[in-house]
């Protein structure tokens, strides 16, 4: 059987965290959740790869975490409210993590926000992005 299409897959630059994603990213998100405890943050920082072994991650997921590939973590089932705890452990604010996901520098991103944010015009559907890039 073909999987049903999800209408929100058409939103560009966006991974909607649904039950499929949450199953795929269970390990990433539970790892991130563990960082809510100060002693776990310390243990993770002391030995990142070793700490991750307890979370049943795929090699791609481990790699994305170790490389701080923020978009990669989302694609592999992570959710921003979880991955931001890894950001916090690195001393990053929500805004700093967001900037990294857009490919902008922190300053460029902060300036964009001060100027009113990213407009919805041209950012509603994937076809608009393909048009822009093609």
The CB-of-18 to another protein minimum distance in angstroms stands at 4
From CA 118, how far away is CA 101, in angstroms rounded? 14
Beta carbon nearer to another protein, 22 or 43: 22
CA 76 remoteness from chain centre: 9
From CA 28, how far away is CA 73, in angstroms rounded? 8
Footprint on residues 61-90 left by another protein (CB under 8 A): 71, 74, 79-82, 84-85, 87-89
Q: Residue 87, exposed/middle/buried by CB under 10 A (0-12, 13-18, 19+)?
A: buried
Residue ranges binding another protein (CB under 8 A): 7-8, 11-19, 22, 25-26, 29-30, 32-33, 35-38, 41, 71, 74, 79-82, 84-85, 87-89, 93-95, 97-99, 101-103, 109, 112-114, 116-120, 123-125
């Amino acid at each position: 059987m073909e999987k049903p299409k999800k209408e929100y897959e058409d939103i560009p630059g966006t991974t909607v965290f649904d039950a499929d994603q949450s199953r795929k990213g269970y390990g990433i998100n539970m790892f991130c959740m563990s960082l809510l405890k100060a002693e776990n943050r310390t243990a993770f920082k002391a030995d990142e790869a070793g700490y991750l072994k307890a979370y049943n991650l795929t090699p791609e997921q481990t790699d994305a975490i170790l490389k701080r590939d923020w978009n990669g973590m989302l694609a592999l089932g992570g959710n921003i409210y979880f991955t931001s705890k890894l950001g916090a452990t690195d001393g990053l604010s929500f805004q700093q993590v967001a900037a990294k996901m857009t490919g902008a520098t922190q300053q460029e991103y902060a300036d964009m926000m001060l100027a009113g944010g990213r407009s919805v015009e041209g950012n509603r559907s994937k076809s608009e992005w393909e048009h822009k890039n093609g």
